[in-house]
Structures are given as structure tokens and as C-alpha cells.
Chain A
């Protein structure tokens, strides 16, 4: 179905539907709220703001689209709660402005309204941050503008395009905002805005069955949901203070001055409104001081103060619930930023930094095992000098610990990949040991002294290749030649896949070149991965 334009009353019904649609996924949106503070109430705040906006709109029978938008904007400002609610009220303020004097909402008017809405939202914040609702709104507005140019008579199409852009933008938020990436979530406010637009679109398309019986789907993050070390329970007990929301009514309120003064009293300040009415959102450890200052400016209304520590504890609980139901945790030892990322992306619960020449102590391993959020733990030492230390851990903890004695990084990765979420601890250990033995490893490093091994005369500073952490199989001045010889000795021609993890001291361009050459010479699939490991210029696996 396609619609060219709608009246003010239809505009009201569109966002009425959007609000009802939003209502269906409030708990989910609350659960993913981590920025700027995990208040865990973004969904609730957006919904209450929209409720207030729609209540106001319902009292009016005005048929004019621009008047209805203004009424919604007024209702949103009066009812705004939380960061997200305030931004949403700014959205409506801009939206109404963009509609200007339009009797009806059409394709072009929608694009203009979204563009003004985006601008107003940015202006409402003291420090706008990308990867949030703001980015989602801007991306959506840009898409709407392009769509309106192409389809100036098709409102449905323009709204659908705006919604699709919002969707993609939401999925991308973890790439822009590290705190989202670490928590493995998308931005909650952006998600809320997307759902609101989606509901409005369903109304416009006449998809009443979907609105009635369906449920909005949260856009999943493109990032892994594995908990990183930064999310470990021991580190989450940071006090967050109080989240405050209130409205100041008065005469000739000086927005600039009030903003400047409140900024000194807390964080995450959002302040919007005009000379007679200001909406304030702020996080502070001393709510008394904020209220005291505010009462001197005017009369306070709709005061809401929440303890964010309580909310954060609830958030952590919800996060746990959302993690895959895995009752086995994996603790792995690795070094290098690239390998950290890789092991984490493969589902490692805790990574203990260490490896060749930097072996972690038994105590460090025990601590890592104890802090893992599971009673069953698999340990991957990934280095032959750590295997023994790892085997001590079982006697020092009450947890059920199994060591899969991986002696190299490729063995560790092979083992980790074969981890099966549907199997028991014991079955997983045997599957991982089997997988570990299917992988051949070559480690390339520089000789630290002159020596004679395996009948080879090795000069100091030369490259040497070690196969399966047992024997030196090649040496020489040119790293490429050493790798080629080692691959031949390791029967590289019969491998299906060669993975090259290049080290911290290796230039990516050099690694790329070597990867391409190996691919040609051995006619095998080669994957190049940034390992950043110290000590080894290259670690290579053959499968």
C-alpha cells in the first residue's frame, strides 16, 4: 500500500501506533541500556515521554498536521524523562518546526521534519556523542531526504527508507561507541527510535495484524556477545550516583547560565526548553545540591530521582540472562592485542595475558578460573611451558577444571573452535583434544644466539621455524624462505587451510605479500590474521 500524504489526525494515529509498538519491547530496550550510564530505563523513559505526548495530542481534534506536531512536541517536553526522553522531546520540537505550516504530512515534509528533528536533538545536548540515538536520527533523516527527492509523492516509501536507515544505523552503533561494543549491545535509545518509526510505518501500510499480534524485534549487534574481562563481576561495583529529572518553571529563565552552573554539579546533563519552562536531566552524587540550585531558579515540577547503583545491579542481572546459556567457561592464555580479540571472538570467557617468555603464575591462573562466571572451566594454556602450571589449578579451586593441553596458539584456536555448546564438559574436552591434534603449528622467531640444531648452523639474528613446538625445521636470513621450507616440511601441499597470525613487529604489508605467495606456491587457501603477538614474527597453522 502506498500513501501520498496524511492529515494531522492520521499523523497522530501513526505515532499512537508507534508508541503502542514501542510499549511491547520496553523491557528489552531497558535491558540493553548501557550509555551514558546503564540506568536500565531508556525504554521506560521513551515510552512515558511518548505517552505524555500522545495524551496531549488526543485532547485535540485539529486536522492540521503541523498543529498536531506542535501539540505532540509540547506534550513530549512536559513529559520528558531521562536522557532519551529529553532527546525525544527535542526530536518532536524539531519535527514540528520542520512541518512549518503544512496542512498535511507528505514525503517532502517528512524529510524536512526529520532533518529539523535531527538538528534539534544535537543542539539539545551539551556534548553530543556518536553511536547513539543522535546518529540513528541523523542517518535516518539523511536517508529520508534522498528518498523524498526520488519519491516526492510516496510518503510510505520515504518513511520506509528512513526506518531502514535507522535500522542499519542502530546495528552500527557498537562500532562507533566502545562501551556498547564491550557490553555486546546496540544503543538502546537508537533502538527505541527505530521501533517508534517502525510502528508508524506499519500503521501507514495498514498492517494492523502485525501491530496487534506481532512484536518488535530488537536489532542484534554485529559484535559478539561474549563477556569481556572488563565486564567481570569484580569490576562492576562502581558507584553511579543518582539520576535526576525535573522541570523548572519560572520567568526569564537563563538557559545558558543554568546549563553552565548545572554542568559543574554532575554529568550527562541534558537541558532543554525556553525562558519559562526548562526540562533538566542530570546524573549527580549530590542530588541535594542540584535541587537546591534549581529551586532558586524557579518552581520545580515532576521531580524524579533514581539510585543508579540499584538500576545497574538489575542491569547486570538482565545481561547475564541474555548471554547464551553456556555452563562451561573457557580460560585461555594468550598475548597480543590481535590474539586477545580473536580468542574473545571465539567465545573465550577470560584471557590471561602470557605466553612464550612470560608465563603466568599458577596463582594468576587460579584467580582467572575463580572469577569465571561458571563452575565448569576449560583451561587452554597455548604454550608448552604453561601446561604444567595449568594442571596445578584443579587442586587449588573448588571448581571443576579441565586442561586441554594446547602447546601452541594454533592448537588453542583449533580446540576453541570445536567447542560444542550442546555437549557436556567431558565430551567437549575430548572433542577439543582431538581438534588440537588435527592442527599443525609453525612458529617463526629470531634466533637469540649462534647455535647448531638438527645439523643446521644457525647464526644469531637469523629467522628460525619451529614445527609443532618440538623441532627447528628451517633457518635463514629471509623470512619468506624460512616459511616456505617449514611449510614443505610440514606437508603444506596437503593442507586445506593455512592461517597466518602475524606478530607485533611484523608489517601487515609484508604479511600480506607472504600470504599471497604461499597461496600461489602451495595452491592452498590462506587466511591472514592480525595477532600482534610478541616474540614470534609469525605463527602459522595448517589444517
Chain B
């Protein structure tokens, strides 16, 4: 059976990983000299508690080559076919590390590395869908082809109360058009061609949530849907209610942005990701 590997920026929880037979490789969060593995040594709640208490601005880093090769080594005991789906290359060098480790395994295994060109919920959908195909005995080539073809149908939308985190982390991409707005606004961004892209600005959080709901409702057919928050669980609950029934049974996922993602988006992120039906 093909094994599917992704990184922790897919926001796949350990429960989901177990459920779908996925392997998640953690990125790292650094508070000064202290290093925490994403969603392993530190969860989202713990991260934001630390963030408010700490004077140090946290930074993030990619997993080392050794972490990657160790993980692949373990999987190689069970399978000869591995698919790695990574966070967009324009956000991080995880893809480069994964490709590097692929070279080291040439003789042992068939490894395919795919740049998801998205992150968070979009990456979650791709990884989970790939894992489901693997369960259904699809070949590595079939799954890899499907993922590549599904990327253009994978849409991610996010809203924040500030772009400061994205700006500081250098992941703002084309959305820097929204920086320096002299009014209090709630920006709405998407991920397009692998990087943050400006969509629009609204004047209140309520309007921002409406915009996300509208965005999802406008799809003719939805194959999978992910909604995420960081620390606004109640708000996410309300959003879930409004979107109920829009995705097929069992394909509506709820998650939280991981600490590594959280360091770049801030505590008031709210996002929807859609796999558009064909």
C-alpha cells in the first residue's frame, strides 16, 4: 500500500493522521533557544499562551534532513511506495528538504514529492484524499496524478484582524497590497499560485465571516471542505453551523492552524478550504 506523508502545516491532527493512516512530519517553532516540534511538543492553545507571555518573537524552521530520512526509513520497512505532499514552496523549503531525502532513497523506495502550492486546509484536503485513495489500493502513480490535477481545484481563503504576523514572517506575498491601509479593516486573502494573494477588505469581522460563507456557498459542487481557527472556537462552531450540509458526509473537516502556521497568521485567523467538485 502507498503511504502518504505530509508536513505539519497541513494542520492534520494526530487523531486524523491515525484515522487516515497518514504520516505527519513536524516543522519547528523556536522561542529563542527553545525548539518545539509543531503540534507534538506544543499545540495551538499552548503556543498562543506562550506567545502572549513571551517577550521573544517566535520563529519557525523546517524539519532537518535527518528527521525526513528517519521517517522515510521507518516507512520503507512497510512499503516501497511513498507520496510526500508538502506546504507551498513559496512559503517554506520543506519541499526542497523532501526532494533531497528522496535522492537518498532512490534504491530502496519509489518516492514522489508534490508541492501542494497551498497550505493549511487545502493541504489537509489533498493529503487526506490521497490517503483515502491509498486505502482503496490506488497506485503511487494514480494518486500522484490525481493530487496534481486536484491542486487547481483546491481553494483556501483566510481572514485576520491584522496582517502584522504575515508581514513580520515575510509570507505576505502579493497581499502586501493590503499593508498600510489607513482604516480598520478585516483583510481577506487567498492562496494563489503558491503564495498569499489579496482578495478584498471588509469593515467588520461579521462581514468577513459572511464573505467566507458566501465564498463556499457559491461553488456548484464541493468534494471536501475544511474550516479552521486558532483560538476562536465558538466562532468556528457558528461557522460550522452555517456551512452544514455543503460538503458530502464525512468530507467536512474541522481543525486548528498549527503553531508553526499560527506564528505567521496570528490568533484571530479564520479560514475555509474547498476542494471544488469536477
Interfacial residues, chain A to chain B (CB-CB below 8 A): 1-2, 156-157, 160, 164, 171, 207, 209-210, 213-215, 217-226, 323-326, 341-342, 345-347, 413, 417-422, 496-497, 499, 527, 529, 543
Contacts and interface: CB of A to CB of B under 8 A. Distances in A.
A417 B200 contact: yes
Contacts of B204: 496-497
Contacts of B179: 220-225
B170 A210 contact: no
Contacts of A422: 190, 192, 197, 199
A37 to B, nearest CB: 24
Contact of B177 (A217, A347, A417): A347
B110 interface: no
Nearest to B95: A213
Interface stretch (B4-12, B61-69, B222-230): B61-69
Contacts of A496: 203-204, 206
Interface string B23-39: 00000000011000000
B218 to A, nearest CB: 12
Given A214-B93, A419-B200, A422-B190, A224 B177 contact: yes
Contacts of A323: 177
Contacts of A218: 170
CB-based closest 8 A-B pairs: A217-B170, A224-B180, A213-B96, A324-B177, A345-B182, A420-B200, A324-B174, A214-B93
B183 A209 contact: no
A326 B93 contact: no
A420 B200 CA distance: 5
B172 A543 contact: no
Contact of B33 (A2, A325, A326, A529): A2
Interface in B37-52: none
A503 to B, nearest CB: 16
A323 B185 CA distance: 21
B174 A417 contact: no
Contacts of A417: 183, 185, 200-203
B198 A529 contact: no
A430 to B, nearest CB: 14
B167 A222 contact: yes
B73 interface: no
B100 interface: yes
Contacts of B182: 341-342, 345-346, 529
Contacts of A220: 167, 170, 172, 176, 179
B199 A420 contact: yes
A418 B65 CA distance: 45
A422 B174 CA distance: 12
A238 B206 CA distance: 48
B184 interface: yes
B181 interface: yes
A501 B259 CA distance: 39
A325 B97 CA distance: 30
Contacts of A346: 181-183, 201
Contact of B57 (A164, A347, A421): A164
Output the residue of B62, B180, B206 with the most chain A CB within 10 A: B180
A148 to B, nearest CB: 16
Contact of A223 (B61, B65, B180, B201): B180
B155 to A, nearest CB: 10
A497 B203 contact: yes
B176 A210 contact: no
Nearest to A214: B93
Contacts, number: 104
B183 A413 contact: yes
B197 A543 contact: no
Interface of B: 32-33, 57, 61-62, 64-65, 93, 96-97, 100, 167-168, 170-172, 174, 176-185, 190, 192, 197-204, 206
Nearest to A343: B182
A319 to B, nearest CB: 13
A225 B93 contact: no
Given A342-B183, A346-B181, A421-B177, A324 B198 contact: yes
A324 B176 contact: yes
Given A417-B183, A417-B203, 6 more contacts: A209-B64, A224-B176, A342-B183, A345-B180, A421-B177, A421-B198
B200 A421 contact: yes
A529 B183 contact: yes
A307 to B, nearest CB: 31
A142 to B, nearest CB: 17
A224 B97 CA distance: 33
Nearest to A167: B168
18 contacts: A210-B61, A213-B62, A215-B93, A221-B176, A224-B181, A225-B177, A225-B179, A324-B174, A324-B177, A324-B198, A342-B182, A345-B182, A347-B177, A413-B183, A418-B200, A418-B202, A422-B192, A422-B199
Nearest to A341: B182
The residue among A214, A223, A326 with the most chain B CB atoms within 10 A of its own CB is: A214
Nearest to A428: B200
A246 B136 CA distance: 69
B65 A209 contact: yes
Contacts of A325: 174
Contacts of A156: 33
A226 B175 CA distance: 11
Contacts of A224: 176-181
Contact of A219 (B65, B170, B197): B170
B61 A543 contact: no
A218 B57 CA distance: 17
Contacts of A420: 199-200
A286 B241 CA distance: 72
Contacts of A345: 180-183
B92 to A, nearest CB: 9
Contacts of B202: 417-418
A301 B55 CA distance: 50
Contacts of B93: 210, 213-215
A160 B197 CA distance: 31
A1 B180 CA distance: 37
Contacts of A2: 33
Given A345-B181, A346-B181, A422-B197, A213 B172 contact: no
B183 A160 contact: no
A439 B99 CA distance: 52
A497 B205 CA distance: 12
A539 to B, nearest CB: 13
B177 A326 contact: yes
Nearest to A164: B57
Nearest to A431: B200
A160 B32 contact: yes
